[in-house]
């Protein structure tokens, strides 16, 4: 038949998922009626019959039989003499229905029809993908890495839809190869240049929240609530949880027996350290828990400025601050308070000397590096070994040895 070359396009259309039959029929008929409008100026006197299952269609034209001399529009009317060639029984005033063959439209029109149909199918597919994912924002999806670029990774879901993980939404230690399976959360869905753009993230706190829901049934069931999550992706995270059932220990439930539940999450996040904390409305207690594993001696709160002065023993200061200041930074984000850490009774230690006093001998940026790990006095630095200082700071070993010599000289 003349329409055999359209069967492949029909098949594509038929395989579209989540598109109802009525929409399919409507789009197909619309495409054919546009073709009729271009050729005949109207489509009102045509019947378009489509069989999606067979990939077939028929177009029938209805014309009124008139006297030979009264034909004004050959598309709407047919002369009695022409009608009788079809069937001798036709009379003036009756309606003649005859099939319009596809080749009557010409090769160029047929090609345009196929292109138009393919374009409409593509648009439907794009809208289908957009509508599917716009309702899945905040959900975890699993896909296969298809292409790795410098700034983003292209992932295909199980239906072959394209999803993007930008570099900014990847955990720094993430490494992808084509064919790898990856899990991430949908954070953004938009139409860009008439194409659905689905953005995934592995750095969003929502991703960590969904992982907890998957691993901890009590969270999924609503017995435990995640109050807040703060993260430095790939490094450390703090999760505040609360239980609505007094019999359930929220921290224990999240960690699991011997860490069984949280280990899977840690592995997924490339060994990100996760602190699970009991939420409380008692601000001082919450700050104390947020600075774990450090043990706090006392806290002074300034509610107006949302600041907290935290006092600890000298040995606890570096724990409170954490490597690179991660612990104190996350604790501040979790509690909503700017936290300042002080050594307990440091002002009473007359024999000790504040690092600022060595400004003439030690560069300011070196002093800042030492203060960042909780060493704000000479003795607090001297209490640590060279190896510890090299490990905790970004200072060279040679620089550290020079600093230690200057500080030791103060007490000799």
Higher pLDDT, 123 or 113: 123
Give the span between the Cα atoms of 411 and 404, in whole angstroms: 11
Task: Using the predicted structure, report yes or no on whether residue 133 has a pLDDT greater than 80.
Answer: yes
pLDDT tens for 31-83 read: 888 888 887 788 888 878 777 666 667 788 888 888 877 877 777 888 888 88
Higher pLDDT, 38 or 296: 296
Residue 335 is encoded by which pair of tokens?
Answer: 């509690």
Is the distance from CB of 89 to CB of 103 less than 8 angstroms?
Answer: no
Higher pLDDT, 169 or 13: 169
Average pLDDT, the chain: 84
Higher pLDDT, 281 or 74: 281
Give me the mean pLDDT over the 109-131 stretch: 79
Calculate ∠ Cα 299-304-305, nearest 5°: 75
pLDDT of residue 55: 60
Q: Which of 201-215, 317-331, 367-381, 386-400 has the highest mean pLDDT?
A: 201-215
pLDDT of residue 109: 73
pLDDT of residue 1: 39
Q: What is the number of other CB atoms lying within 10 angstroms of the CB of residue 369?
A: 19
Is the distance from CB of 43 to CB of 35 less than 8 angstroms?
Answer: no
pLDDT of residue 335: 94
Give the span between the Cα atoms of 214 and 219, in whole angstroms: 8
Give the span between the Cα atoms of 38 and 162, in whole angstroms: 36
- Helices 7-14 and 21-40: crossing angle, nearest 10°? 150
pLDDT of residue 4: 43
Task: Using the predicted structure, report yes or no on whether residue 288 has a pLDDT greater than 80.
Answer: yes
Task: Using the predicted structure, report yes or no on whether residue 5 has a pLDDT greater than 60.
Answer: no
Percent of the chain scored above 90 by pLDDT? 38
Residue 209: pLDDT band with limits 50, 70, 90: very high
Give the span between the Cα atoms of 89 and 80, in whole angstroms: 10
Task: Using the predicted structure, report yes or no on whether residue 103 has a pLDDT greater than 80.
Answer: no
pLDDT tens for 15-33 read: 555 566 667 777 777 888 8
Residue entry with tokens 């079809």? 86
Residue 348: pLDDT band with limits 50, 70, 90: very low
Task: Using the predicted structure, report yes or no on whether residue 159 has a pLDDT greater than 60.
Answer: yes
Higher pLDDT, 290 or 9: 290
């Amino acid at each position: 038949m003349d329409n055999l070359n359209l069967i492949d396009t029909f098949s594509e259309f038929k395989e579209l998922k989540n598109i109802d039959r009525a929409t399919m029929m409507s789009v197909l008929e619309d495409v054919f009626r546009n073709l009729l409008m271009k050729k005949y100026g109207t489509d009102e006197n045509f019947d378009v019959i489509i069989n999606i299952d067979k990939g077939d269609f028929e177009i029938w034209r209805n014309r009124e039989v008139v006297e030979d001399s009264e034909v004004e529009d050959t598309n709407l009317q047919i002369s009695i003499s022409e009608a009788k060639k079809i069937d001798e029984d036709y009379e003036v005033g009756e309606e003649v229905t005859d099939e319009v063959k596809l080749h009557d439209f010409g090769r160029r029109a047929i090609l345009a029809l196929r292109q138009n149909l393919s374009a409409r199918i593509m648009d439907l597919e794009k809208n289908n993908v957009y509508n599917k994912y716009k309702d899945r924002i905040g959900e975890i999806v699993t896909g296969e890495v298809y292409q790795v670029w410098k700034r983003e990774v292209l992932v295909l879901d199980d239906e072959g839809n394209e999803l993007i993980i930008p570099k900014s939404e990847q955990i720094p230690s993430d490494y992808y190869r084509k064919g790898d399976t990856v899990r991430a959360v949908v954070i953004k869905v938009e139409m860009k240049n008439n194409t659905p753009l689905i953005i995934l993230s592995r750095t969003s706190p929502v991703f960590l929240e969904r992982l907890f829901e998957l691993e901890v049934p009590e969270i999924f069931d609503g017995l435990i609530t995640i109050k807040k999550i703060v993260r430095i992706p790939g490094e450390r995270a703090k999760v505040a949880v609360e239980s609505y059932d007094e019999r359930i220990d929220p921290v224990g439930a999240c960690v699991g027996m011997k860490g069984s539940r949280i280990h899977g999450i840690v592995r997924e996040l490339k060994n990100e350290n996760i602190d699970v904390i009991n939420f409380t409305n008692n601000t001082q207690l919450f700050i104390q828990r947020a600075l774990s594993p450090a043990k706090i001696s006392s806290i002074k709160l300034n509610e107006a400025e949302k600041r907290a002065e935290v006092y600890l023993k000298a040995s606890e200061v570096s724990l409170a601050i954490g490597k690179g200041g991660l612990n104190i930074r996350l604790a501040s984000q979790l509690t909503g308070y700017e936290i300042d850490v002080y050594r307990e009774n440091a002002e009473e230690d007359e024999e000790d000397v504040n690092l600022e006093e060595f400004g003439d001998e030690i560069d300011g940026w070196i002093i800042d590096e030492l203060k960042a790990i909780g060493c704000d006095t000479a003795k607090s630095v001297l209490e640590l070994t060279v190896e510890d200082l090299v490990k905790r700071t970004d200072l060279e070993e040679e620089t550290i040895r020079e600093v230690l010599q200057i500080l030791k000289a103060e007490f000799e």
